[in-house]
């Protein structure tokens, strides 16, 4: 601790300054007085004793001087002087100071914001988990024949049971489904909450203790158990029960069952993912939310669970992985069903960390990392700009500097003074940056990781340390160049010659800094442009449906004892009610929801052994719909006719997609052809094609493959599709989507008191997460790019302004010699444009060289997209012209008489 004690002492001396000298003096006084006292006790006269004491101590003044030196007071005095001087200088030009502090604040603030996000979302395990380093998530990967690797994050229940038995590798193993939104309560009170289905040992594996009540017992979570008990998340307990202990024993209707509250999870624990979980229920109890049908616990084919294991002490992840892979591969021999399985060559097991940044390669994570890099560029631009401003100021103060040098102030000290300037500005910038981060973090979090459990975000120690460090670095970086430049002896020599001679000096450093700023702005603008182009390309995709006009309303009734006719009647009533709402163009019913869940049933073509163009076990998607479904979705019929109300009970008919028609009946007219749906009763006969619809996106927006699909009349739906039906509604225009969605929710939800939560969403919102990486990339790059451009513009302006002031005399001479206003304008603006050309060239070179980094994040856009590069190269010119116009105009106003008379 010697370092700390010593530092503490130095700080004390620094802060007490002159008063510390008094302390030293008092100490010597005490010494002399005590010695004299001893002398008098020994019998000496008081005067003699005092004299003797002084003599023995030596020269008091010299001793005091040496004490001062030993304590380092002189050095601190100088530092304090420099600090006071710098503060006084900065407060004397508030405009300059504010501009610099704001520039740095945005640069540092952008970094602090991205640090807070990346640190919380990517670099740490979800909160509240004990010893997260020993936890692993089990995933599988398959190397396909094509050489590509597919990672599967979910596992089947039997796989989980087998992992659970590997007690030599894992202390505890648990399985989770979710969190997903589950319906809570019924009728008008119905809401939703993020619910997870959990297996044995969920909380024990994560090392969590209940805040209230208890967690599940083994019996309650066992696959044959399934007690209807629920554990609440801390936040949900607060919101729903006001944090009352009386919540224990209360009941909640979750999906189709009543659950009794038995416990509350601790504060700060949000589950095993970053999505805050509101409640946990045992898997076996969750009728209607499980996968894999009635024998889910034995179904190997249904992979739907996240499996998390705590490594046994002394077991390394590598060992666990090697051992578990051997066993796991033996159980999971690739079956012959399905394209993926048939192509799978090497199945392998992966153990990944719960820290998201270490395992997931989701586009949001990539974008977050990229943005963290981009924020560094913004900071670099800000530093370059501040360095430039400080340099300008240093040159303006050149006489003062020259005088200081002449008076023998060391170059060392001059450099220290400039650095102090930079550091003070950096510190102020850092303080304001905290405010920027405080406002920025919630914004970026919402944009990037909506729904993540970061509600209780605050300025934590790590962020403070990061900000302090960044501010220090930025201050040093901004201060060091001006310090070296302005204190250069040769320059100082030149400066002694007075303003006019010094004026012709053009700082190459300043121009270089401008080029750096300009080039980096170009890089950011190029990033913006590339993301915007990606969005444009996505927007231009032929979707075969109108994303911006469609609303879907999902009602999960889960059977519960109604006949098919009763169910249909209820949905017909809903459809009629919704259809009469103002602004609704059409409303239809569908089994199978676009982008939400698809059905595919085995087909047989008369005269064919297997279906053309498909692997075994794969079939086209089908939708059982009412007559106006295609019109509602905005999918056009290209041949034949669409479904009509009469088709509900007539002969079996279908509308097929263009792709299906092409693959099934190549070279023939699909209309009039027929196929068998195997699941239908054998007597049902052949389904006849009556029309061909355009191809439409159904699973994902961006999947380059075109899925085959066909549409049956809802009344002719195969037996296994008689369940929950979705309402699909078309709004008269896109602006009506938001008000209509809430009107529809109200209308349907209040129809019957036993309805669970009706999920009404715009189709555009359903697919929005797919577009988020590009939207976000475009927005954030755009924001940072605009910021960079603004900073660069300020930089250009200040440099040109200063340059004009410097060339005051020269310009006066030119005007006196007959230079016209246009010539002067060209001279000044031309100088700025010259810098911009170099900056643009350097920036484009960086983009061309570094574009690869962006390639994976772009959609059908080359990182060297010519249009983007062209626009991006043009923008800085406009900015430079604008920024230099005012100084140039001022240059034309130079009065030759004044200019020539000035010293």
Partner 1 sequence: MTPPSNPSRRTDVLAGTLEMLVLRTLTLGSLHGYAIAQHLARISNSVLQVEQGSLYPALERLLRKGWVTARWAESPTKRQARYYTITAAGRKQLREKVSDYERVALAIARVMGRA
3-state SS, residue 171: strand
Question: Could you tell me which residues come within 8 angstroms of residue 493 by beta carbon, excluding any fewer than 6 positions away?
Answer: none
Least gap, CB of 40 to partner 1 (angstroms): 12
Which tokens hold the place of 448? Answer: 């990037």
Residue 2 or 316 with smaller CB distance to partner 1: 2
Least gap, CB of 38 to partner 1 (angstroms): 6
CB atoms within 10 A of CB 501: 11
Q: Give the x/- contact pattern for partner 1 in 388-427, rule: CB under 8 A.
A: ----------------------------------------
| Interaction residues for partner 1, span 61-120 (CB under 8 A) | 62-63, 66-67, 69-72
Residue 34 or 610 with smaller CB distance to partner 1: 34
With beta carbons less than 8 A apart as the criterion, state whether 63 and 27 touch. Answer: no
C-alpha to C-alpha distances, 571 to 73, 578, 599, 629, 648, nearest whole angstrom: 87, 10, 20, 14, 15
Span interacting with partner 1, options 6-14, 246-254, 606-614, 852-860, rule CB under 8 A:
6-14
Least gap, CB of 65 to partner 1 (angstroms): 9
Q: Which residues pair with 655 in a beta bridge?
A: 691, 711
Least gap, CB of 32 to partner 1 (angstroms): 9
Q: Give the x/- contact pattern for partner 1 in 737-776, rule: CB under 8 A.
A: ----------------------------------------
Parallel, antiparallel or unpaired: strands 726-731 and 584-591: antiparallel
CA angle centred on 771, ends 844 and 850, rounded to 5°: 20
Least gap, CB of 24 to partner 1 (angstroms): 7
List the one residue from 22, 56, 78, 506 that touches partner 1 (CB under 8 A): 56
Q: Name the residue among 205, 218, 204 with its Cα closest to residue 310.
A: 205
Least gap, CB of 17 to partner 1 (angstroms): 15
Distance of CA 223 to the CA centre of its chain: 38
List the one residue from 6, 373, 666, 850 that touches partner 1 (CB under 8 A): 6
Residue 63 or 204 with smaller CB distance to partner 1: 63
Please give the Cα distance from 492 to 502 (Å, whole number): 10
With beta carbons less than 8 A apart as the criterion, state whether 270 and 128 touch. Answer: yes
With beta carbons less than 8 A apart as the criterion, state whether 550 and 588 touch. Answer: no
* Residue burial 803-830, b: 16+ Cβ < 10 Å; e: rest: bbebbbbbbbebbeeebeeeebbebbbe
Least gap, CB of 98 to partner 1 (angstroms): 39
Residue 78 or 362 with smaller CB distance to partner 1: 78
Residue 70 or 540 with smaller CB distance to partner 1: 70
Residue 39 or 707 with smaller CB distance to partner 1: 39
C-alpha to C-alpha distances, 167 to 66, 266, 312, nearest whole angstrom: 72, 28, 8
Distance of CA 192 to the CA centre of its chain: 25
Please give the Cα distance from 160 to 164 (Å, whole number): 6
Can you spell out the DSSP letters for 28-83?
HHHHHHHHHHHHHHTT--HHHHHHHHHHHH--HHHHHHHHHHHHTHHHHHHHHHHH
Least gap, CB of 10 to partner 1 (angstroms): 6
Residue 72 or 347 with smaller CB distance to partner 1: 72
Position 3 contacts partner 1 (CB under 8 A): yes
| Interaction residues for partner 1, span 572-591 (CB under 8 A) | none
Position 16 contacts partner 1 (CB under 8 A): no
Q: Name the residue among 749, 622, 755, 642 with its Cα closest to residue 698.
A: 622
List the one residue from 4, 333, 361, 817 that touches partner 1 (CB under 8 A): 4
Q: Give the x/- contact pattern for partner 1 in 653-692, rule: CB under 8 A.
A: ----------------------------------------
Span interacting with partner 1, options 55-63, 425-433, 587-595, 858-866, rule CB under 8 A:
55-63
Least gap, CB of 3 to partner 1 (angstroms): 6
Residue 22 or 396 with smaller CB distance to partner 1: 22
Q: What is the largest CA-CA distance in the chain?
A: 136
| Interaction residues for partner 1, span 25-54 (CB under 8 A) | 26-28, 30-31, 33-35, 37-39, 42
Span interacting with partner 1, options 56-64, 194-202, 395-403, 882-890, rule CB under 8 A:
56-64
Residue 69 or 345 with smaller CB distance to partner 1: 69
Residue 43 or 95 with smaller CB distance to partner 1: 43
Interface size with partner 1, residues (CB under 8 A): 36
Span interacting with partner 1, options 23-31, 373-381, 438-446, 562-570, rule CB under 8 A:
23-31
Residue 9 or 608 with smaller CB distance to partner 1: 9
Least gap, CB of 2 to partner 1 (angstroms): 3
C-alpha to C-alpha distances, 417 to 78, 278, 790, 794, nearest whole angstrom: 10, 56, 29, 25
* Residue burial 883-896, b: 16+ Cβ < 10 Å; e: rest: bbbebbebbbebeb
Residue 62 or 849 with smaller CB distance to partner 1: 62
C-alpha to C-alpha distances, 863 to 630, 846, 873, nearest whole angstrom: 38, 12, 15
Least gap, CB of 6 to partner 1 (angstroms): 3
* Residue burial 348-359, b: 16+ Cβ < 10 Å; e: rest: ebbbbbbbbbeb
Least gap, CB of 78 to partner 1 (angstroms): 17
Residue 56 or 641 with smaller CB distance to partner 1: 56
Which tokens hold the place of 550? Answer: 């469609």
Position 1 contacts partner 1 (CB under 8 A): yes
Least gap, CB of 75 to partner 1 (angstroms): 11
Span interacting with partner 1, options 8-16, 294-302, 832-840, 845-853, rule CB under 8 A:
8-16
Can you spell out the DSSP letters for 818-853?
T--HHHHHHHHHHHHHHHHHHHHHHHHHHHHHHTHH
Residue 2 or 563 with smaller CB distance to partner 1: 2
Least gap, CB of 27 to partner 1 (angstroms): 5
Least gap, CB of 1 to partner 1 (angstroms): 6
Residue 36 or 230 with smaller CB distance to partner 1: 36
First to last CA, the chain: 60
Residue 5 or 903 with smaller CB distance to partner 1: 5
Q: Name the residue among 805, 840, 811 with its Cα closest to residue 826.
A: 811
Least gap, CB of 420 to partner 1 (angstroms): 22
Please give the Cα distance from 883 to 881 (Å, whole number): 6
Residue 44 or 503 with smaller CB distance to partner 1: 44
Least gap, CB of 51 to partner 1 (angstroms): 14
Please give the Cα distance from 738 to 458 (Å, whole number): 33
Where on the chain is the footprint of partner 1 (CB under 8 A)?
A: 1-10, 23-24, 26-28, 30-31, 33-35, 37-39, 42, 56-59, 62-63, 66-67, 69-72
């Amino acid at each position: 601790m010697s370092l700390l004690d010593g530092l503490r002492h130095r700080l004390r001396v620094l802060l007490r300054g002159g008063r510390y000298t008094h302390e030293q003096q008092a100490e010597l006084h005490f010494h002399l007085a005590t010695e004299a006292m001893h002398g008098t006790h020994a019998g000496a006269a008081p005067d003699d004793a005092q004299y003797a004491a002084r003599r023995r101590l030596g020269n008091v003044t010299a001793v005091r001087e040496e004490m001062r030196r030993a304590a380092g007071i002189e050095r601190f005095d100088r530092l304090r002087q420099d600090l006071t001087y710098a503060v006084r200088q900065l407060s004397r030009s508030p405009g300059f100071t504010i501009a610099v502090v704001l520039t740095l604040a945005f640069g540092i603030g952008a970094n602090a914001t991205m640090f807070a996000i990346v640190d919380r979302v990517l670099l740490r395990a979800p909160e509240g988990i004990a010893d997260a380093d020993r936890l692993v998530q089990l995933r599988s990967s398959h190397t396909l024949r094509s050489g590509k690797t597919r990672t599967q994050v979910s596992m089947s229940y039997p796989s989980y049971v087998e992992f659970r038995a590997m007690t030599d590798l894992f202390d505890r193993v648990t399985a989770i489904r979710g969190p997903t939104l589950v319906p809570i309560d019924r009728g008008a009170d119905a809401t939703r909450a993020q619910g997870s289905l959990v297996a044995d040992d969920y909380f024990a594996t994560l090392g969590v203790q209940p805040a209230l009540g208890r967690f599940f017992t083994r019996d309650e979570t066992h696959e044959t158990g399934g007690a209807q008990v629920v554990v609440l998340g801390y936040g949900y307990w607060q919101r729903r029960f006001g944090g009352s202990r009386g919540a224990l024993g209360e009941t909640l209707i979750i999906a189709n069952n009543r659950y009794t509250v038995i416990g509350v999870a601790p504060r700060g624990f949000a589950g095993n993912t970053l999505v805050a979980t509101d409640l946990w229920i045992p898997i076996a109890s969750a009728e209607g939310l499980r996968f894999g049908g009635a024998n889910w616990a034995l179904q190997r084919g249904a992979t739907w669970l996240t499996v998390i294991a705590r490594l046994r002490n002394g077991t390394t992840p590598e060992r666990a992985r090697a051992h578990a892979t051997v066993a796991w591969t033996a159980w999971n021999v690739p079956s012959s069903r399905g394209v993926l399985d048939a192509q799978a060559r090497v199945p392998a097991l992966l153990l990944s960390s719960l820290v998201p940044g270490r395992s997931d390669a989701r586009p949001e994570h990539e974008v977050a990392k990229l943005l963290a890099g981009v924020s560094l560029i913004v900071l670099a631009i800000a530093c370059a700009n501040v360095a430039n401003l400080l340099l300008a100021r240093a040159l303006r103060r050149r006489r003062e500097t020259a005088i200081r040098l002449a008076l023998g102030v060391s170059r060392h000290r001059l450099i220290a003074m400039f650095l102090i300037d930079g550091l003070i500005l950096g510190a102020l910038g850092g303080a304001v940056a905290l405010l920027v981060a405080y406002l920025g973090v919630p914004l970026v979090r919402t944009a990037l990781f909506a729904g993540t459990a970061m509600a209780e975000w605050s300025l934590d120690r790590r962020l403070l340390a990061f900000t302090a460090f960044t501010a220090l670095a930025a201050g040093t970086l901004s201060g060091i160049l001006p310090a070296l430049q302005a204190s250069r002896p040769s320059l100082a020599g030149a400066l002694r010659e007075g303003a006019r001679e010094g004026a012709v000096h053009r700082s190459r450093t300043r121009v270089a800094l401008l080029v750096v700023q300009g080039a980096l702005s170009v890089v950011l603008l190029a990033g913006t442009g590339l993301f915007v182009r990606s969005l444009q390309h996505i927007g231009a995709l032929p979707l075969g449906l109108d994303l911006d006009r469609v609303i879907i309303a999902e009602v999960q009734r889960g059977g519960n004892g109604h006949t098919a006719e009763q169910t249909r009647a209820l949905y017909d009533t809903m459809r009629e009610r919704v259809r009469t709402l103002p602004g609704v163009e059409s409303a239809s019913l569908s089994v199978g929801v676009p982008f939400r869940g698809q059905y595919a049933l085995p087909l047989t073509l008369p005269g064919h052994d297997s279906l053309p163009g498909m692997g075994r076990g794969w079939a086209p998607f089908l939708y059982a719909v009412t007559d106006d479904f295609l019109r509602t979705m905005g999918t056009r019929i290209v041949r034949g006719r669409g479904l009509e109300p009469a088709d509900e009970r007539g002969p079996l008919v279908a509308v097929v997609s263009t792709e299906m028609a092409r693959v099934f009946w190549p070279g023939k007219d699909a209309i009039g052809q027929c196929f068998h749906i195997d699941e239908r009763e054998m007597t049902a006969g052949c389904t006849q094609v009556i029309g061909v619809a355009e191809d439409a996106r159904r699973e994902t927006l961006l999947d380059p493959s075109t899925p085959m699909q066909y549409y049956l009349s809802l009344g002719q739906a195969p037996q296994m599709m008689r369940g929950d039906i979705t309402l699909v509604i078309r709004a008269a225009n896109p602006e009506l989507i938001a008000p209509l969605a809430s009107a529809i929710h109200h209308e349907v939800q209040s129809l019957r008191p036993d309805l669970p939560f009706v999920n009404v969403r715009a189709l555009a919102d359903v697919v929005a997460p797919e577009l988020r990486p590009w939207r976000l990339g475009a927005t954030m790059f755009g924001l940072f790019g605009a910021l960079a451009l603004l900073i660069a513009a300020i930089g250009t302006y200040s440099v040109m302004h200063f340059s004009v002031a410097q060339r005051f005399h020269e310009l006066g001479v030119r005007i006196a010699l007959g230079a016209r206003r246009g010539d002067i304008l060209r001279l000044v603006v031309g100088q700025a444009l010259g810098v911009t050309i170099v900056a643009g060239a350097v920036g484009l070179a960086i983009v061309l060289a570094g574009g690869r980094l962006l390639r994976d994040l772009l959609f059908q856009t080359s990182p060297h997209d010519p249009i983007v590069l062209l626009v991006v190269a043009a923008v800085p010119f406009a900015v430079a012209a604008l920024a230099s116009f005012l100084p140039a105009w001022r240059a034309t106003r130079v009065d030759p008489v004044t200019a020539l008379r000035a010293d």
